[in-house]
Amino acid sequence: MEIQVRQMTDNDAPAVQKLSEQLGYVLSISEIKNNIRETISSKDHIAFVALHDRKIVGWIHAFKALFLGSISFIEIGGLVVDENCRSKGIGKKLIDRIKEWSLEKGINQVRVRSQVKRKEAHQFYLNNGFVEIKEQKVFQIMLW
């Protein structure tokens, strides 16, 4: 399967939005478009799409995570491959591109937080050389 990977643009918003639904997220196309614009205008964020026959079949977003008390790392903020195109190495290609970007930025650590329920994704990350380092709970407060 011939796959190209290129940087995401805001024109990709409709396809990115459709794939995001497979992740369980439901933003509108214009909300996704705004997020893409913010992402691509920041030097600390990056997003790539994978194409097959010029159709978007996957996307990945990552950013430099800066914490006051620890060494910076690259964190994967979102990754999805079209459910009709899985197990063909597309996810691996997108991860490899993020690894390259991380090295270009002089950062040797890439992390991803993955929900406990996403068992198949966990196997995918282990296959790609990631090791599990901790489990977390996430807390939130709504301000309006």
Ligand X SMILES: CC(C)(COP(=O)(O)OP(=O)(O)OC[C@H]1O[C@@H](n2cnc3c(N)ncnc32)[C@H](O)[C@@H]1OP(=O)(O)O)[C@@H](O)C(=O)NCCC(=O)NCCS
Task: Identify the H or E element spanning 21.
Answer: helix 13-23
Of residues 104 through 143, those in contact with ligand X by CB under 6 A are: 112, 114, 118, 120-121, 123-124, 127
Residue with the two structure tokens 């290609």: 93
The pair of three-digit structure tokens given for residue 124, joined into one six-digit string = 């995918």
Structure tokens at 121: 């994704």
What is the x/- site pattern for ligand X, positions 31-70, by CB under 6 A?
A: ----------------------------------------
CA 28, 35, 106, 4: dihedral to nearest 10 degrees? 50
- Asked if 98 is part of the footprint of ligand X (rule: CB under 6 A), the reply reads no
Q: Does 91 bind ligand X (CB under 6 A)?
A: yes
Q: How far is the CB of 94 from ligand X (least distance, A)?
A: 7
User: Given the complex with ligand X, which of 47 and 81 has the nearer CB atom?
Assistant: 81
Distance of CA 66 to the CA centre of its chain: 17
- Choice from 52, 64, 86, 105 touching ligand X (CB under 6 A): 86
